[in-house]
Structure 1
């Protein structure tokens, strides 16, 4: 039984799969054409985000029994075609939920305390105390959209900060716990000082945060997006900041993350956002810690073992 790994992975994945009696072909530099040419030889494939797992690719997957996504998002995978072919699909949000939660909180604290500004100023021998007076998180209401692995982990990290946490999840009910109170979207729009997104990208929620949605918030708020850039357009972000609907934004993801392919309009919008002190960026690394790199492998191996323990 052979497994093909098509992306860079923590090296622990190979012995984990070998312990399950798989022969592993680790080919992180493999091209899409080479994947198509060889896929019929494999019962499993481990992926990150190299290439869309679509019908054109899967038509070569004669023997494929599982696909394991080293991460949380499944938006590059044709879920309908995978299901139609009886291929089991595994992903590993449990592996990087702690990393995402800590990163989201870190970005928010940095923005509130102007650490991204103050750090650079002191390095340039500028000692501007009043200009860098911060904002306290205590007493704020934090809204979370999506209360799965990531949303729950973020709520847990907030528990020591004296905030009220309201969580909305379209696919769950009765999930209030020690860390968050279940709420409707409209309740979050009425009360939130901070909004954090923890939902996957689907056709249904693409550009969820449009002008109409944002205009329904009762007061200016801060946005954290460690989920997917396509939940809000750059143009809408800039508009919301200039209209003071948004007080600031922590952005780990962008609508187009291939910065070398930005259109002229996208370049201009990104430059305008980057010029704003109340915007903090990171390059899609919220779930990208040394610890999560290994934990993702362990989660995937455990799920593969559980699914095929009788094989």
Structure 2
């Protein structure tokens, strides 16, 4: 049985029902005990980010072969426990790329116009994206459509990806100039942070790099807030060196009273809306559903193989 605990496109639902036994129970997202009780007969799950799948849950699901998530995040998914249990974690590959690219463009345009700078005449004025240098930190599926959109605006695009050598052909394919991370911060009028989070990148964007941002820089981040050192971010925003920042997700406690980022009015936070559009939800649902169908159709691996 496929247990679907997240609202899903009706066409995708019909496609799955025609191929597998399906139970649609979004109410289980709010009832962890009932969800655990349903797991023994489940071969595949489609769940929202609010539902946890950990080692304890996997012990209740001996038949489970795949866990699907329509969003790209890894919250509440114990990937190591899933790997040990032989459970495939299925997330959309590039279904949200166009949505994320458009969100970055929209956020940059708003900040450039909404947060004025002083020009040579002493006037407070907005800025244009055309002619700006835009730095991409981290290359993800959204980087390709984002680079195309930025090029159409007339922006100069530079980038930093720690896992990609400067001579790799991917840079020329994307038409993005590879630079060092410090060089990117020093040269960019606008920065888009999309770097996938790993523990080794914890607080990567701190005093060593963030403190060297170009004056009046604006930044939009789709990455985890753990990539940033909050004290340094608060300093560059609070002193006005960085004109504005827009985070599409941030740990709630980072905005609490007594924390460095509390009441900084040039910081805007949205609740993970970059990847969620009508179109991206449909693409993500089809991607996850087809890969679950494939996973359930594979013959079992013989014991001892």
Q: 1:70-116: CA deviations, max 9, x gaps?
A: 1111243111111111111111141111111101110110111129x
* Runs of 5+ unmatched residues, structure 1: 118-129
Q: 1:17-61: CA deviations, max 9, x gaps?
A: 224x22221122212222222212101011221133221222212
What secondary structure does 1:167 align onto?
strand
CA contact (8 A) 2:138 2:193 kept: yes
Does 2:286 align with 1:294? no
Q: Where do residues 84-123 of structure 1 align in structure 2 (5 Å cutoff)?
A: 84-114=84-114
The separation in 2 between residues aligned to 1:106 and 1:169, in whole angstroms, is: 23
Post-superposition offset of 1:292: 1.1
Counterpart for residue 25 of structure 2: 27
Q: Where do residues 14-163 of structure 1 align in structure 2 (5 Å cutoff)?
A: 14-19=13-18, 21-30=19-28, 31-114=31-114, 133-163=125-155
Paired positions, count = 288
Post-superposition offset of 1:225: 1.0
Does 2:247 align with 1:254? no
CA gap 1:263/1:190 in 2 versus in 1, 3 angstroms: closer
CA contact (8 A) 1:12 1:297 kept: no
Task: Give the TM-score, by structure 2 length.
Answer: 0.84
CA contact (8 A) 1:142 1:164 kept: yes
What secondary structure does 1:143 align onto?
strand
Counterpart for residue 188 of structure 1: 184
The separation in 2 between residues aligned to 1:98 and 1:6, in whole angstroms, is: 26
CA contact (8 A) 2:210 2:232 kept: no
Q: Where do residues 204-215 of structure 1 align in structure 2 (5 Å cutoff)?
A: 204-215=200-211
CA contact (8 A) 1:214 1:245 kept: no
The separation in 1 between residues aligned to 2:195 and 2:10, in whole angstroms, is: 29
CA gap 1:133/1:218 in 2 versus in 1, 3 angstroms: closer
Give the aligned CA root-mean-square deviation in angstroms. Answer: 2.7
Task: Give the TM-score, by structure 1 length.
Answer: 0.82
Counterpart for residue 119 of structure 2: none
What secondary structure does 2:45 align onto?
strand
CA contact (8 A) 2:220 2:246 kept: yes
Q: Where do residues 258-277 of structure 1 align in structure 2 (5 Å cutoff)?
A: 263-265=256-258, 269-270=261-262, 272-273=263-264, 276=265
CA contact (8 A) 1:141 1:194 kept: yes
CA gap 1:250/1:288 in 2 versus in 1, 3 angstroms: same
Displacement over 6 Å in runs of 4+ = none
Post-superposition offset of 1:135: 0.3
Q: Where do residues 160-171 of structure 1 align in structure 2 (5 Å cutoff)?
A: 160-171=152-163
The separation in 2 between residues aligned to 1:217 and 1:269, in whole angstroms, is: 18
CA contact (8 A) 2:147 2:174 kept: no
The separation in 2 between residues aligned to 1:204 and 1:61, in whole angstroms, is: 32
Counterpart for residue 304 of structure 1: 292
